[in-house]
Each structure stands twice: as structure tokens, then as C-alpha cells.
Structure 1
Amino acid sequence: MTRTQRSESTGPTPEIVAVFGQRAGVGATTTAVNLAMGLAAAGRSVLLLDLDPEGGAGRAMGVAERERGGTGRLLRERAVRRDMIAATQIPQFYLAPAGPELAALDANPDEDEDSLTRLYQALATLPALSLDFDHVILDCPPSLDVLTGNALIAAHRILLPLAADVPTLDTLPALLKQVNELRAGCRQPLYGCYLLIGRRTATVNSRDLIAQVRLEYGRMALAAEIPFDSRLAKAETPTQPLLMSALTREISRAYLNLTAEWLMLGERGDRPDGGWRPSARAERLERHRARLTRNIEHWRLDPLSKLYDPEQAMRHQDTEALGVLFEAAAPRRRFSLDRRPGRATWLTLALILLAGALSVRLQPWRLDEQRRLDLAARLLGPERQWEAGSRLLARADERAYRELLLAARLLETNRARLIACAGRATPSGPVECPVVLPSMGVDP
């Protein structure tokens, strides 16, 4: 990656990250190696410095001290030279391995006044190299010694893997205080200190401790959590990064989450203040994870890659071939719903069908006057309802009931006359139609 490309990022160039564990066994070296590989999978150029005299990072990447000068020479000469750095099998991923010389440097801390700034001075010479790095990951020993002090002073960001247990949480405030005191007055800006929680068990007590850490330290605690892996605990030294060996394991997916979250530290969110809405943040993390997984799988399937795995490539080809055969043999679906209709959709369809049926049913009534009259009579109610209404009216108002009966009799008496008059009607003139009118003195 060129310097022009790197200048578009908001963070420092290169970003220096110190990975420091309070004690051995919390996964600091595993975290440093897999974070470095994840950043390389994101297209970043990464340099991993192994500052632990045990040399765990070098063994995990297959690079030993005897192959290169390593971090011992780097601290002694206060400069980074090309012959101190070894290329790994992963593209854009370089390593400065550790060696026994580091232990000797740690044993003589008072050799000079600036013994804690050796690494800071050495990393200041990085622009003179022919290689450009976006990230420098520092794998520190599990103690706050001279080597760790050099890393903490030189770092832009500090990553603290920790176990979710009572002893660790009890000593964490004192450790953070020591780090603040060590960083006081340093030239190198510190952009953040982050806690990476390791889940040892899934008990209620463990969940309560994790919740306590997140409550007390807020944004310092990363969302990613590293689960306990029994297979990793049984191995004395990992022979390769977890992201290289098995992406399907839970711990590997956890390190993908860590890398995706780390990439978002230098990105501006979708809110005006630079923060992220929860939905947008989750979508961005998923995009980063998908990209990392795709690039790592490409390394293992590409015959030109140093990470090419013939067995993995054969399984991938078999999977693709079976998928093509299954797609060819499967019956074609002529119609499919991408989304199951809900209750409101079904109700709307039922109302539309009912309205259509009524319109068809009522079409003849709209054209025939007699049918319209019959329809109006039906809408008034059946005969039983008419009789019941008449009885209720008789009880409520006797005179109104008698008048209603008189009107019904007159209608029946004059019905024949009205029909005869309608038959004699002509367009030339009106026709007289005598009808029987009620007498106001007649009692029905």
C-alpha cells in the first residue's frame, strides 16, 4: 500500500499497537498474531514485532531469530533495518522475530537514561525503509518490564487482553494507573487503551463479571469477546494463526470480529457527531467480516499463493460442482414468494374478492326497476323482522300503529287501480287515476 493511499485514513501512519497481557495465558501473543493477519487480510501492510523473549509470535509464523537479526538488534541499534525483518507466507505481513538477546536487554534496564525510548527511536526510522507499513503490532511479554515499557511508550493504541475472573479485575485499576504514569509526558500521542475480554466459561458468574467490566469501563471494552478454546490451551505453541487454519471455529470468528471492530476505530460513523447508529454499525462490521473471510479463503485456494492448500481447494471445487449439479437437477419454481403474506394482506385480498362478487351479483338490479324495488324491500328486512317491529310499535304508540295499518290497507286497495292507470298512460297527455283516500274520521 502506498503512502498516498494510507494518507486517506484518519489514524496515524503507521498505527503502532501494543498488545500487552497482565499475565501469561491470557492470549496476548495469539491476539497479536491473529490481529496482524486480519489486518493483512483487509489489504493493510503489517509489521509484527516480537518483543517477548519466549518468541511465541515467531514460532507461530514459522520465523526464527536465527533467520533474521530480529528485535534484539532493533532495540540495541535503535533503528529498523531491512535485514531485521522477515517476510511471512501471508501477503503484506512481515515479522521481526525475537531471541535470547531480548532477555539480556531486559536484565540491564539502567544502561542509559533513555532505555525506555529505544523502541520509539527505532520506529522513527521506519520511513527510511523501502517498505511502507500501515500497522505495527508489538507483542509484549506478560509483565510490565523494560521491554513492555518500550512498547507502551511507542504505541498509539494499547490492547489489553484479559480474563474475566476476579483476580484480573481486582488488579486492572492498578495496572491502568501504571500505564498512565508511564505514558505521562511522552511525545507519542495515545489514541486509546482498549480491553479485550476473554470468556473462560459460560456461567452466570462469568457473565456478571463481563457485564461489570463493560459497565465500569464503557467504550474501553471492545464488543468482541474471545472464547476459551480447549484445543488451543492444550497446545504448547500455536504453529500457525487461527485465521489461517480454521475459520469455522468459534475463536477464529471472534478474531474476525476483533479485526472488523479494529478497522472501524479510524472510520467516521453515519451520525453528524461521527458516531454510528446501531444498525449501520452492525452492517459495517458484517461487511468487514465478509471481506476478511473472502480474502483469507482466496489465499488458501489460489495456486499462486504461499498459503495454497490443495485439500481445501479440492473440497471447494467439489462443493461448487455439487452445487451446479443440484441446481440443474432441482425443479424450477414457476412462482415463489420472497416474503410470506401477513394477515393484513390476506384480509385485503378477501375484501377485494367480496367486492367483485357483489358487483357481479348486483349488476342486473342496477338495470331493472322492479328488481331494484325488490332489493329495497329485502334491505328493509325479512317478514319476521317486520312483524316484530309492528308489535313493538303497537306497544309503544297504539295510534301510530293503527295509522300504519290503515296505510297498508289503502296501499293494497289502490294497488290494482294504480297498475291499471299505468297501463292507460300515453305520451299525449295525463290520465286520470282515481284512488281511495282515507277519511280522517274512519277508525282503522
Structure 2
Amino acid sequence: MTRTQRSESTDPTPEIVAVFGQRAGVGATTTAVNLAMGLAAAGRSVLLLDLDPEGGASRTMGVAGHERGGTERVLRERAVRRDMIAATKIPQLYLAPAGPELAALDTDPGTDEDSLTRLCQALSTLPDLSLDFDHVILDCPPSLDILTGNALTAAHRILLPLAADVPTLDTLPRLLQQVNAWRAGRRQPLYGFYLLIGLRTATLNSRNLITQVRLEHGRMALSTEIPFDSRLSKAETPTQPLLMSALTREISQAYLNLTAEWLMLGERGDRPDGGWRPHARAERLERHRARLAQGIENWRLDPLSRLYDPEQAMRHQDTEALGVLFEAAAPRQRFPLDWRPGRAMWLMLTLILLVGALAVWLQPWRLDEQRRLELAARLIGSERQWDAGSRLLARADERAYRELLLAARLLETNRARLIACAERTASSGSAECLVVLPSMEVAP
């Protein structure tokens, strides 16, 4: 991988994002993995650091911690080196996996005067790598320990997946105070603390809690809400990100919304103060969503990609073939859809149609036999339509294609026979006209 183009955001590069859940089961690891994949689909270069000793992000990405040493080496050596990170199946997404010794760092922080700055020191060495990252995503363990403290201290932005229940909301102010205490006096700037609301049940009480969160914390609460997915809760360990395996599911679409909203954090809006008008914001989000979905689709259609899906590529080719056939069969549009002719134009068109109809009706002798045949061919369909349709039919149903060829041969043979018979009848006065049937001469 070569150095990628810097992002358009005015935020520092790379942007360091800590994803932290107050407790297990709120979807912090799922959020970190799918946000990282979404940013990669947008063309960004992303490094995902698995700081959770459970290694959920590493297993989801299919990278074992013992293969590369893991993030414990990043913390112990206070540096990020090439042999500490691994490439994933997703283009431009790299992972520093969690190793078996990561849990020991929490109980044995070392003799440092300040053990909360190890990760910050390590990430400061990223410019020395041959890889150039736009984003660094930190997947934190669900506890306020040394590992989480390092991540929250090193982050430029903090993303907190939040369950809409009373215990979580009651402990939120204390968590914010703890983060402020950890970051007090640090040089690393904090550009935002964001709440990602998870909607487990669509009850009136849960909606009231969400409304309360949005009123109390304002812009800290992202507009995206992550729905509850029972299939995800039953799975022991996801084998791949949701954006890779189940893009059409509601929860996957929510993570697309999250990534699109995250991309807008560093963008200036259309208002003078930098904010967004609702209509302009919705259009911008939709453009980001379409770009992300197209990026994921391109990975599945590219034979050189490790995410190449032959069935998806075949369906895409069939869709393109149908599009060519429809374009060939559809009438050409002569005027824009919003064009409105005036009264004079209507009178001129009517006059032209009357003159044309009168000319055809009064002078049929001008159309000889060959011209009548050419006119019939135009009404039936052009050669391009026939070629497109026959190629599609040959690929879909070989038997139907052979029958179509048989019918075409019969038409051509009988046409020649009938023309010859008509000439004999005109000369002799009577003649017996025979046509070829499928069982007589022509074989498929």
C-alpha cells in the first residue's frame, strides 16, 4: 500500500477515534469494526487497534493476535511498527490485533510516572511508517481500566455507544467527569464526545429516554440510532463486519448512516456559521451513503479484491445485459420531460401529422415491395434489439434460444417460398403454395 491522499477534513491526520462502551453488550466492538469498514469504503485509509483483551475485533476481522504480536507490543514499546499490524480482507483497512498478553497490562502498568500516555506516545510514531492513515479507530474494553484510559487520553474524538436505559443514563455524568479528569492538562486536543444511541425496544419509555438524552446533551447525541438485532445477539462471535455480510439488514443500514454522519463532522455546512440546513444536510448524507454503498459493491465485483463475490458479479452482469436490452427496446426520448409545447407548436405538429397521413393514404404506389419489407423490419425491431435479445436468451435458456433460431429460419424459408409462389401465380394464374413446418425440413 502506498501513501494515500490526505482527507478533505480540517481535523488532524490521522484522526484518532476511541469507541468505548460503558458495559459489555452495547455494541462497542461492532460499532468500531463497521465504522472502520465504512470509512475504508469511503476511500479512507484506516488502522483499527483492538485494545480489548477479549479480542472481539480481531476475530471479526479474521486476524489472530499471536500472528503479529498484538497491541500489547504497541503499548509496551510505545511505538507502532509495520510488523505489529496486519492487512485485512478489506482494502485500505489494517488491524493491530489483541494478543494474549494484553490483559496483563491492566494489572501491571509498569513503573511509568504516567501510564495513561503510552498509546499517545505510540501513535505519535505513525508518520515513520510507510503507511499513511487517515483514521485510527481504537476498540476499548468495556471498563474504565488502564487500557481504556490510554485510548480516551489519546483520542481526538470519543464515540460512546449508549443503551437507552435508566442505569446507563444515570452513570453518564460520572463517566464524562472521569474523561475530563484523565485528559486534564494533556496536549492532545479533544474535538468531540459523541453519543450513539442504541434502541433496544421501541417502547414509549425508551423513546422518552432518548428524547431526554437529546435534550440534555444536544449535539453530543448523533442523529443515527442503532436498532436492536436479535440475530446479532445470538451469535457468539461475528465472523465478519455487518457491512460485509448483511448490507441490506436494518442494523447495517444504520451503520452506513453512522459512517455518513461521521464523514460530515469535519465538513463545513451551507450556513454562514458552518452549520447545515436540514434539506442540505439530508442531501449530503444521502450522497455519502450512496458513495459508501457503491464502494462496498465495487469490492464484491472486482476480481482482484479479496472480497470478490462471483455470484454478485454474475448478477451485476445480468443486470447490465438487461439494461442494454431495455435501452435498445425503449423509444428514444426526443424532448426533455419538463418541456411544454405552446399552442403554435401544437398546431404545427397537428398539421405535419395530417399532411403525412394524407401523403401515405393517397400515394401507396410509392412504396414498392422492398420498401414495405424494410418498413415492417423497422416496426418489428432493429438488428441491435435482435442481437441483444438473442445473447441474453442464449445465456438464460439454451433450449429457448434454439427454438428461437428455428422460428427465425422457418420465417425466412417460408417468406422465400411464398414470394416465389406469388410470382408463379401471377404468371400462370394458379399455383400450389407450400410452407415448411418444423417437422418437415428444418432441424433446430
Partner amino acid, structure 2, of 1:220 = M
Partner amino acid, structure 2, of 1:239 = T
Q: Return the alpha-carbon distance in structure 1 between the equivalents of residues 138 and 180 of structure 2.
A: 18
Gaps of 5+ in 2: 344-444
Alpha carbons 2:68, 2:83 under 8 Å: kept: yes
**1:318 matched residue in structure 2:** 318
Q: 1:9: how far off?
A: 2.7
Q: Return the alpha-carbon distance in structure 2 between the equivalents of residues 169 and 110 of structure 1.
A: 34
**1:204 matched residue in structure 2:** 204
For residue 162 of structure 1, give the secondary structure of its aligned residue in structure 2.
strand
Q: Return the alpha-carbon distance in structure 2 between the equivalents of residues 141 and 239 of structure 1.
A: 19
**2:299 matched residue in structure 1:** 299
**1:54 matched residue in structure 2:** 54
**2:309 matched residue in structure 1:** 309
Q: Return the alpha-carbon distance in structure 2 between the equivalents of residues 239 and 3 of structure 1.
A: 29
Q: Return the alpha-carbon distance in structure 1 between the equivalents of residues 338 and 106 of structure 2.
A: 64
Q: Return the alpha-carbon distance in structure 2 between the equivalents of residues 92 and 179 of structure 1.
A: 31
Q: 1:2: how far off?
A: 7.9
For residue 6 of structure 1, give the secondary structure of its aligned residue in structure 2.
coil
Alpha carbons 2:29, 2:57 under 8 Å: kept: yes
Q: Return the alpha-carbon distance in structure 2 between the equivalents of residues 171 and 248 of structure 1.
A: 34
**1:185 matched residue in structure 2:** 185
Q: Measured at CA, do residues 28 and 327 of structure 1 come closer, stay the same or move farther in structure 2, by a change above 3 Å?
A: same
1:333-372 maps to which residues of 2 (within 5 A)?
none
Q: Measured at CA, do residues 160 and 311 of structure 1 come closer, stay the same or move farther in structure 2, by a change above 3 Å?
A: same
Q: Measured at CA, do residues 3 and 307 of structure 1 come closer, stay the same or move farther in structure 2, by a change above 3 Å?
A: closer
Q: Measured at CA, do residues 135 and 333 of structure 1 come closer, stay the same or move farther in structure 2, by a change above 3 Å?
A: closer
1:6-405 maps to which residues of 2 (within 5 A)?
6=6, 8-109=8-109, 111-326=111-326, 328=328
Q: Measured at CA, do residues 4 and 56 of structure 1 come closer, stay the same or move farther in structure 2, by a change above 3 Å?
A: closer
Partner amino acid, structure 2, of 1:33 = V
Q: 1:334: how far off?
A: 8.4
Q: Return the alpha-carbon distance in structure 1 between the equivalents of residues 308 and 74 of structure 2.
A: 32
Q: Return the alpha-carbon distance in structure 1 between the equivalents of residues 323 and 311 of structure 2.
A: 18
Q: CA-to-partner distance for each residue in 1:85-106, whole Å, 9 max, x for gaps?
A: 1011111110000022110111
**2:416 matched residue in structure 1:** none
Q: Return the alpha-carbon distance in structure 1 between the equivalents of residues 48 and 256 of structure 2.
A: 18
Q: Return the alpha-carbon distance in structure 2 between the equivalents of residues 172 and 159 of structure 1.
A: 13
Q: Return the alpha-carbon distance in structure 2 between the equivalents of residues 4 and 302 of structure 1.
A: 20
Q: 1:337: how far off?
A: 5.9
Q: 1:109: how far off?
A: 2.9
Q: Measured at CA, do residues 327 and 25 of structure 1 come closer, stay the same or move farther in structure 2, by a change above 3 Å?
A: same
Q: Return the alpha-carbon distance in structure 2 between the equivalents of residues 50 and 229 of structure 1.
A: 23
Q: CA-to-partner distance for each residue in 1:42-76, whole Å, 9 max, x for gaps?
A: 11110000000011111111101121112011111
For residue 208 of structure 1, give the secondary structure of its aligned residue in structure 2.
helix
Q: Return the alpha-carbon distance in structure 1 between the equivalents of residues 332 and 127 of structure 2.
A: 60
Q: Measured at CA, do residues 337 and 79 of structure 1 come closer, stay the same or move farther in structure 2, by a change above 3 Å?
A: closer
For residue 62 of structure 1, give the secondary structure of its aligned residue in structure 2.
coil
Q: 1:123: how far off?
A: 0.6
Q: Measured at CA, do residues 38 and 322 of structure 1 come closer, stay the same or move farther in structure 2, by a change above 3 Å?
A: same
Moved more, 319-328 or 145-154: 319-328
Q: 1:267: how far off?
A: 0.8
Q: Return the alpha-carbon distance in structure 2 between the equivalents of residues 73 and 31 of structure 1.
A: 24
> TM-score when scaled to structure 2?
0.73
Q: Return the alpha-carbon distance in structure 1 between the equivalents of residues 208 and 7 of structure 2.
A: 42
**1:406 matched residue in structure 2:** none
Q: Measured at CA, do residues 203 and 335 of structure 1 come closer, stay the same or move farther in structure 2, by a change above 3 Å?
A: farther
Q: Return the alpha-carbon distance in structure 2 between the equivalents of residues 147 and 113 of structure 1.
A: 16
Q: Return the alpha-carbon distance in structure 2 between the equivalents of residues 306 and 95 of structure 1.
A: 16
**2:361 matched residue in structure 1:** none
Q: Return the alpha-carbon distance in structure 2 between the equivalents of residues 240 and 226 of structure 1.
A: 18
Alpha carbons 2:3, 2:131 under 8 Å: kept: no
Alpha carbons 2:33, 2:241 under 8 Å: kept: yes
**2:373 matched residue in structure 1:** none
Q: 1:310: how far off?
A: 0.9
- Among the aligned pairs, what percent are the same residue? 87
Partner amino acid, structure 2, of 1:146 = I
Q: Return the alpha-carbon distance in structure 1 between the equivalents of residues 6 and 332 of structure 2.
A: 49
**2:433 matched residue in structure 1:** none
* Pairwise CA RMSD: 2.4
Q: 1:237: how far off?
A: 1.0
Gaps of 5+ in 1: 342-347, 350-444
Q: Return the alpha-carbon distance in structure 1 between the equivalents of residues 39 and 329 of structure 2.
A: 41
Q: 1:110: how far off?
A: 5.2
Q: 1:311: how far off?
A: 1.5
Greater Rg by CA: 1
> TM-score when scaled to structure 1?
0.73
**2:396 matched residue in structure 1:** none
Alpha carbons 1:61, 1:241 under 8 Å: kept: yes
Q: Return the alpha-carbon distance in structure 2 between the equivalents of residues 335 and 157 of structure 1.
A: 52
Alpha carbons 1:54, 1:99 under 8 Å: kept: no
Q: CA-to-partner distance for each residue in 1:198-235, whole Å, 9 max, x for gaps?
A: 01111111111111111110000001111111111111
Alpha carbons 1:72, 1:98 under 8 Å: kept: yes
